[in-house]
Structure 1
Amino acid sequence: MPLSNELLSFLKELKKNNNRDWFNEQKPRFQEIQSEAKGFYEDIKQGLLQFDEIENFKMFRIYRDVRFSKDKTPYKPHFAGSFSRSGKRLRGGYYLRIRPGESFLAGGFWEPNKEDLFRIRKEFEINDAEIRDILKAPDFKKVFGGQLEGQELKTAPKGFQKEHPAIDLIRKKGFIAVRNFSDKEILSPDFLQEVLFSFQTLRPFFDYMSEVLTTDLNGVSTVD
């Protein structure tokens, strides 16, 4: 089932009326829309299982944790969910946020731990040809613009040369592919298929990264 215009309308209204009194009055309406969103994310999970191994699915709560934030609005005017690939063997995950005017999906490695980040950087230092080919593939360029996003250092990390040809990749602290969606695309009957096609396009990238993160620099497996 495609997402309803009512879902986006509610989120737009929530953004304008981000307070507990308004939300409590709209609670029955929210529960219906939340049920619709959960169903859509469940459809994504079932689709992902056709071409990947998903260990965990999490749909994030609409309630914000305002304890350490300057923004004290109590609700997130969006729905979001993540899908984690199976454990130490595969790594990485998928993500989708539905927010009027600011919807996007992403996949990859948000904050690799220190050991994983070093291993990835060393792989790029030794040979960046394979990852370049993956990023230049026609479908990856069409869906994700042929590039990875994520925070990066201003200079080379310690132990790496700043003149290295792969320094644009080595400087990164995360490795994420992102696709943005308009509200019209969100409401399209084909939106679910577009989400799944986008995620499936990430498989060569994930396959490469899974191999890197489960082998040492000599190609010997590091997992049981």
Structure 2
Amino acid sequence: MIQSSTLKFLRDLKSNNNKPWFDAHRSDYEAARDNFAGFINAVIKEFGKYDPSIAHLTAKDCMFRINRDVRFSKDKSPYKANFGASINADGKKSMKAGYYFHLSPGEHFVGGGLWHPQPADLNKVRQEIDYNLPEFEKILKAKKFRDTYGGLYVEEGQLLSRLPKGYEPDNPAAEYLKHKSFIATSDLTDAEISSKPLLNNIVKAFQALQPLITFINKGIDE
């Protein structure tokens, strides 16, 4: 499970986001990182029983570095005040749909999908939705998906004002074809993160998301 010391480290890092502090607390970072990695390995072991495509992964294949790329950012804070893991069959750098877990005090969430895809892949997914709208809507209307995620998450700036070129205004899939990303997220509280059922809850959340991941990747692969 996620240790309270891991959450404390992330809170402290957020308030002391500088190299001298980080260097002085490197052992705390390493302990927190190892705790998160252990949890991700447990998630992979359990969820891999339901999605064999990710069963070969380890936490190292999924976890992102804590160092921020500040080259093109106004925020020059050197570290991320979170731990994140992209559990994707092709690894964390894959451009295909996958699962994601984000650990950040007060801002935890579980979910996944296809985020900011390349134009060619985005077109393929839109085409798959257009061709198989009943199947896509069945996935989104499934009780487990609705209870866990509510629906697709609409990130600011990730929805077209008009339909993509080639689709008619009366297309029954119009509301979905405007999406630039296809993701779903569910927020988690600090109390839920620290609870014993966390592992089981994350696995169940990924199970609810699995049909959407399968649908999206089928479109990309065809």
Same-fold status (TM-score > 0.5): yes
Q: Report the alpha carbon displacement of residue 196 of structure 1 after superposing the two structures with TM.
A: 0.7
Partners of 2:190 and 2:145 lie apart in 1 by: 22
Kindly indicate whether the alpha-carbon contact (under 8 Å) linking 2:152 and 2:182 is maintained by their aligned counterparts in 1: no
Task: Map 1:1-224 onto structure 2 (within 5 A).
Answer: 2-52=1-51, 53-54=53-54, 57-86=61-90, 91-150=96-155, 151-215=158-222
Kindly indicate whether the alpha-carbon contact (under 8 Å) linking 1:3 and 1:187 is maintained by their aligned counterparts in 2: yes
Q: What do residues 144-198 of structure 1 show as CA deviations (whole Å, max 9, x unaligned)?
A: 1033445221211112223433211001111111111111111111111111110
Partners of 1:210 and 1:70 lie apart in 2 by: 35
Letter in 2 for 1:153: L
Q: What do residues 56-90 of structure 1 show as CA deviations (whole Å, max 9, x unaligned)?
A: 53211111111111001111111111111259xxx
Number of residue-to-residue matches in the alignment: 211
Letter in 1 for 2:42: D
Q: Over alpha carbons, which structure has the higher Rg?
A: 1
Letter in 1 for 2:26: K
Question: Gaps (5+ residues) in structure 2?
Answer: none
Partners of 1:127 and 1:195 lie apart in 2 by: 28
- The aligned residue for residue 218 of structure 1 is none
TM-score normalised by length of structure 2 = 0.87
Partners of 1:214 and 1:69 lie apart in 2 by: 34
Question: Gaps (5+ residues) in structure 1?
Answer: 216-224
